[in-house]
Structure 1
């Protein structure tokens, strides 16, 4: 990350109350001491997670630390022991979960067809069918509320994706979904499992050209290296179990009936929780390895420096929504013609202003956030390895100069192809946040 130049005069400093070293003073950012870590983490602790998310976070961190140490000795060292057995057992657990959904559907049909004499059985059968419909595995769909680009819409962008994919030994994508979020991801949609890339402008717009290549390398790296938890069959089972866990949640006991129902569902809910944890235990290690290898792919195609910088951006990605909200609120403060003109200007300049805001974050602040991440075990979500370990491993795997270049006219061409989506999403952000 580059440091934005300041005034010619030296920045004000104060004495660290803990060790006496000089501490730069900047009212925009946290004052902290690099020598003794005084005030390095003054923020509130991370919010408490639910039982499932907390278990996944602990398991992910355990596997993440083990794999980081193993992969540091070479990619082959990080191969999970018993990969085939774990994958087969995960498929077996998924089959059991989906079989229960099938039984509900079949039982519902039989109750409806054969139970008309009582009048009660068809009602129960309809409930079974409704529950089976909620639990059923379903192919992904392209969103209807976000811009979706095809090859005809963005040939240069798809050409870049194809080049990154080819460098990693995998295929490209069928569609690109553009969102305002500070995130990116890949998945599949439709019965034929077409590949789709989700591209969040909140992240894309603040990255440099090579960091964007690294981002594409990471996401497409998931296809190159495989990820059991991204397989449709396992994803469907995890979804079904999560729905069961929610449906079997105890209700606040307002009377004897509530206590009876809670007692009845206690054991089934424990069984569902056990299956969820078993499926997590069978798939999370392979998923962690896939994340680390995807980071290595990012470094290989984008460059080691770009992949490491991408890890730093992840530390502040959570503040992008707040940045967008500030821009929208500022645009909506005035009414009448002045307010309308301010909103129109905000829509035109939103992504440039966001990029400028985050480009001004000094290197000292990133260093503080890296230290906080190591203390708290920061990760993108409850299933990702700790970010500081990902950064360390990506830095240690190089240096790579980058296999794919993304500069000059090519960068301008991709920006032009994204212009319509940028305008649509900027208008939506200003409208949603400004009210």
Structure 2
């Protein structure tokens, strides 16, 4: 059954890519067949534009993320690799930090799908060593790798879905209609802009549902056959994971961080005042993944990034 599902996912994904490629080839053929025609260039250019917009784009790091060089943070890379090995996922080739993000993500970026760990500094700054390990285990465990072919097809289908399902009567059309009615009076076109918006909505509903169903079918197949990280048994407990999830949802750690930052406190004082209480769960875990001393060395490596992130704490709500 797994082989059948994998083959079905591959067929659907290849079909989506073939449809995208059809737009590009059609645009090139229209222009190539009539190189001297303005209409051919306009029509072919439109087809090429549609194909280019639907062509899968590789995932990239957020614009405000900064990659930490391995030479400048060997302890940070060390804990990232140790936890990845314990969970059973490829070790990240890069670790990036984000001044405003809350949590951590394990991403596949670029055409080469390089594994990169993205760490949000506000939460990381407030967590004790054991909860930092829990955070990394959570990031690795929730990572999804849809593959190059299926992942690209899902990206394309998402673009189609957003295009079709978001069709609605634009407020700008109504404003333009009022403007033309004011200027032209009785000669203004009646209802044409509302009709165009309604046509967009109807087409979006008719064409959007098949795309949505195809996307869900492919997503279901991909999830069924995708490799999953090893269970985190023996690494973290359910209580630790639940406690971290509650902390991330409530964001109760942000207020002490912001208050200390507003007082102009140093990074060490901010961490001490905002640190989440460790309830002793580390005694039941694997402390070799990140000891107290190693955690302090990680903080020293990230001190420059902490200083910058603290100045941005007022932007987090």
Aligned length: 291
SS at match of 2:154: helix
Counterpart-to-counterpart distance in 2, 1:271 and 1:154: 48
> Aligned runs of 1:27-176 on 2, under 5 Å?
82-176=1-95
Task: Name the stretch that deviates more: 135-144 or 170-179.
Answer: 135-144
CA distance in 1, matches of 2:219, 2:273: 37
Cα gap change, 1:123 to 1:428, in 2 (>3 Å): farther
Counterpart-to-counterpart distance in 2, 1:200 and 1:354: 19
**Following the alignment from structure 1 to structure 2, what is the Cα–Cα distance between the partners of residues 359 and 209?**
11
Conserved? CA contact 2:257–2:270, under 8 Å: no
Matched, 1:280 2:219: yes
**Partner of residue 236, structure 1:** 152
2-side partners of 1:86 and 1:152: how far apart?
43
Q: Output the CA distance in 1 between the equivalents of 2:156 and 2:273.
A: 39
> Structure 2 CA distance, aligned partners of 1:433 and 1:222?
24
Alpha-carbon distance change, 310 to 156 in structure 1, aligned in 2, over 3 angstroms: same
Distance apart, 1:160 and its partner CA:
1.7
> Where does structure 2 lack aligned partners over 5 or more consecutive residues?
171-192
Cα distance in 2 for residues equivalent to 1:139 and 1:218 = 24
The CA RMSD over aligned residues, in Å, is 3.5
Could you say what secondary structure the match of 1:185 adopts? strand
SS in structure 2 at match of 1:251: coil
**1:285 positional shift:** 4.7
- SS in structure 1 of the partner of residue 119 of structure 2: strand
Q: Unaligned stretches of 5+ in structure 1?
A: 1-81, 332-341, 363-398
Question: Does residue 243 of structure 2 align to residue 312 of structure 1?
Answer: yes
Contact 1:238 1:276 in 2 (8 A): yes
More helix by share: 2
SS at match of 2:312: helix
1:419 Cα deviation after fit:
1.4
Q: Does 1:190 align with 2:110?
A: yes
Task: Give the aligned partner of residue 168 of structure 2.
Answer: 251
Determine if contact 2:27/2:46 at 8 Å carries over to the other structure: yes
Correspondent of 1:427 among 305, 311, 316: 311
| CA deviation map 1:306-365 (0-9, x unaligned) | x52232221231332x8647965x69xxxxxxxxxx747168479537834x549x9xxx
Partner of 2:288: helix, strand, or coil?
A: coil
* Contact 1:323–1:354 under 8 Å retained in 2: no
Structure 1 residues 354 and 309: alpha-carbon distance in aligned structure 2, compared to 1, 3 A threshold? farther
Q: Secondary structure at the match of 1:423?
A: helix
- The whole-number CA distance in structure 2 between the counterparts of 1:275 and 1:354 is 51
Match of 1:178 in 2: 97
Misfit runs of 4+, over 6 Å? none
| Residue 429 to residue 113, structure 1, CA distance change in 2 (3 Å) | farther
CA distance in 2, matches of 1:120, 1:135: 23
Instruction: Pick closer, same or farther for the CA change 1:234–1:407 going to 2, 3 Å.
Output: same
Partner of 2:209: 270
Match of 1:66 in 2: none
Superposed displacement of residue 100, structure 1: 1.4
Does residue 205 of structure 1 match 2:125? Answer: yes
Q: Alpha-carbon deviations, 1:54-109, whole Å to 9, x = none?
A: xxxxxxxxxxxxxxxxxxxxxxxxxxxx3332233222222111211111111222
